[in-house]
Every structure is written in C-alpha cells, then in structure tokens.
A = this chain, B = another copy of it.
Amino acid sequence: MRASTGDGEQDLEAPASPPRQAGRRGPRPAGQATISRVAEAAGVSRATVSRVMNGSPSVNPELAARVRAAAEALDYEPSAAARRLALGRTGAVALVVPDLSNPLFQSVLRGLSQAAGRAGRQLLVAESDEDPEEEVILALEARRNSDALVLASPRAPDERLRALGDRLAPFVLVYREVAGLDAPSLSIDNAAGIGAVVSHLAGHGHRRLAYLAGPDGSAGNAERLAALRALAQAGPGIELTVLACGSMFEHGHAAASRVAECGVSAVVAFNDMVASGVLTGLRELGVRVPGEVSVTGFDDIPFARYTTPPLTTVSIPQSELGRQAWERLRGLMNGEGGGYNVRYQPRLLIRGSTGPAPA
C-alpha cells in the first residue's frame, strides 16, 4: 500500500494497474476535460485554474489568459457535481406542488422560475398529484437536491408539516399558513376575498347563495367555506347551500344542474375553473347568467376574462407569490431570516357574470 497524496496529480499516465475499464463508469462524458487537464495544459496548478474559473481577482492577468485559452481549447466545463460536493451547495432551489395543471401553481412556478433563473439558479420541480403523503416525501427528496424549497401543500396535515419542519428548512410555504411552523409563509386572505364577494352579491339583492365547494381537505376550501358560513350566520339573512363539487372545469360543469335546481340566485364557486364550468353548464341548461343567476369565481386565472360572460372573481397576486417566494428563499439562504408572514389581501374584480338578483 502506498501513501497517497489524497488526489491523483500524478496519475495522469496509466500506472501499473490495468487501465480502468474504459467507458463503463467514467463520470464524465468520455473524454471530457477536467480541471487537472486544463491545469496541465496551461502549466499551472489546479488551484489557479479554479481561481480563474471563478473569477478571482488575485490572479496574474497573463496566467489567467493562458488558463482561459487552455480551457477554451479543451472545451472545458467545470463539473457541476464536483462543485456541489466541494462547495456544499447545489445552486438549485425546488418547488413542490400538488398539481401542475392548476393555474394557481403554474403562476407560482412561473414567477419562481423567472426569479431563480435571473439569479442563475436551477429550478427543480416536483408534482405530488394531490397526494399529501407523497408531497412530503417529494419535498424531502427535492430538498436534498437543492438549497431551499418552496412548498405548496394545501392538503398535508399541520402536524406532519411541523414534524418535518427542520428537515425541510430552509423553505417557504405558499397558499397556506401553519401555526407553529418555523418557515415564512405567503398566503391569501380567503376570508377577506369571500367577504368582498358576499357583500357585492348582497348589495345586488342576492339572499340565497350556493357554494360550489372545492376538494375536501384543501386548506383554501376550508377557509372559504368557513368564511361563508360565518357570514351566513352573522348576516342579515343570507341563506347558504353548500354543494360538493371539486376544483376542475368538469366538476363545475357537472354541478350546473344541481345549481339550477336548488333555487339560488347566485353561486360562489371555489375557484375560476369551477366557475367557468358552471357557466358553460348553465348556458347549456338555458339558464341566463347573470340574468337568472350570478356566478363568482376565485383566483382570477388568465382565462377568467374570456369566459362568457366574463367572470366576476377574486383576484390574487399569483405570480407575485412566486417572486416573493424567491425573495424569501434568498433571504433564508443568506441567513437573513425569512421575514414576516404575509397574507395577501385579494381584490374583487367585477365583470359580467354578476348582476342584480331577479325580482
């Protein structure tokens, strides 16, 4: 056994042992240049090449030029894997969402992707397909391959999240707030949004409302429903019918007949997709909107302006959430702390799908 220097400076030429089975295991795409090869070609040490590649100012310009030339000539690209290991950071951030087909999460993805991209970071994305348990696993996994995480997990139980808090950190929670969790959260004030909707509707003389409920267990749905119930109880005379529905177009579409039958003058949909679906369904049934029944959505997805009639809905700062999430991550990664939680106050957008209650 020979004492090694810990690194193979001298092993460039084949030693006594049989040449390592070529093409089998080589981490690099076959003949990819390594820092050692560049160093050799430029006649400097690996440390110097490293410095040059990382733009250290304290390198003799002439040397630097030589190194750059050698790197160029060899088509050298630093190994991301090796840097990750040596540096102890990945240069990536991760996003975990329940469902990539949901416009809400798409906006966050987009905002985050752009912000992270501008900062020169990779973005890892994972989708749990609405399975809360899977979500947590994915989050852990994603977190191991990144430096920080944005988690949208409307269904996972509070305790589960609290239990995993430090294995997930640093991370930020979006569209949700969990008490006692040590992570910044960016969420929506659902109650305020519902409040605005209801007072708009009440102002138009609507008394009997239906709520097209979102998925069971969704934190957003729970809050919206609770707000509605509270309003119905406290209010002067609002009568609330809750209809189980879902979160997709089809769900809303399928609920149209139940809406028509239950004799309400206005329907508050869990979100814009459901609202659009019910709009279409109602039209097919010959029910006039907003003449006979008014419809409201939630979220203000891009399509909401293009339904017929255009959807009155609650607007929330979707892509802002992505951007903010990035800011928080950045803070967290720099050890600056994640800042205060924020609850975005939604804004009611009155378009054509609501009007006076029929006499």
Give chain A's interface residues, CB within 8 Å of chain B: 3-6, 25-28, 77, 79-82, 84-92, 100-101, 106, 109-110, 113-114, 117, 122-127, 129, 138, 141-142, 144-145, 249, 253, 276-277, 279-280, 283, 302-303, 305-308, 310
Contact = CB atoms under 8 A, between A and B. Distances in A.
Given A4-B3, A276-B306, A110 B127 contact: yes
Given A85-B81, A277-B306, A306-B280, A101 B92 contact: no
A6 B3 CA distance: 8
Contact of A106 (B81, B86, B100): B100
A258 to B, nearest CB: 18
Given A85-B79, A90-B81, A113 B125 contact: yes
Nearest to A1: B5
A82 B4 CA distance: 21
A109 B114 contact: no
Contacts of A82: 85
A79 B145 CA distance: 9
Contacts of A27: 85-89
A100 B113 contact: yes
Contacts of A306: 249, 253, 276-277, 279-280, 307
A314 B92 CA distance: 38
19 contacts: A3-B3, A3-B4, A26-B88, A27-B87, A27-B89, A28-B88, A80-B145, A81-B90, A100-B110, A100-B113, A101-B302, A109-B125, A113-B127, A117-B138, A249-B302, A276-B303, A280-B308, A307-B308, A308-B308
Contact of A125 (B81, B91, B123, B142): B123
Given A85-B81, A85-B85, A125 B125 contact: yes
Q: Which 4 pairs, one residue from A and one from B, show the smallest C-beta to C-beta distance?
A: A27-B88, A3-B3, A308-B308, A81-B84
Residue picked from A5, A87, A303, most chain B C-beta under 10 Å = A303
A147 to B, nearest CB: 10
A142 to B, nearest CB: 7
Nearest to A99: B110
Nearest to A83: B81
A25 B249 CA distance: 50
A90 B91 CA distance: 14
A249 B93 CA distance: 31
A87 B26 CA distance: 8
Given A81-B84, A249-B303, 15 more contacts: A6-B6, A26-B88, A28-B88, A77-B144, A81-B81, A82-B85, A84-B84, A92-B124, A100-B106, A100-B113, A114-B129, A117-B138, A122-B126, A277-B306, A279-B306
A303 B6 CA distance: 60
Nearest to A301: B303
Contacts of A114: 127, 129
A84 B110 CA distance: 28
A113 B109 CA distance: 13
B145 A122 contact: yes
A151 to B, nearest CB: 16
A37 to B, nearest CB: 17
Nearest to A85: B81
Nearest to A4: B6
A221 B124 CA distance: 30
A280 B311 CA distance: 13
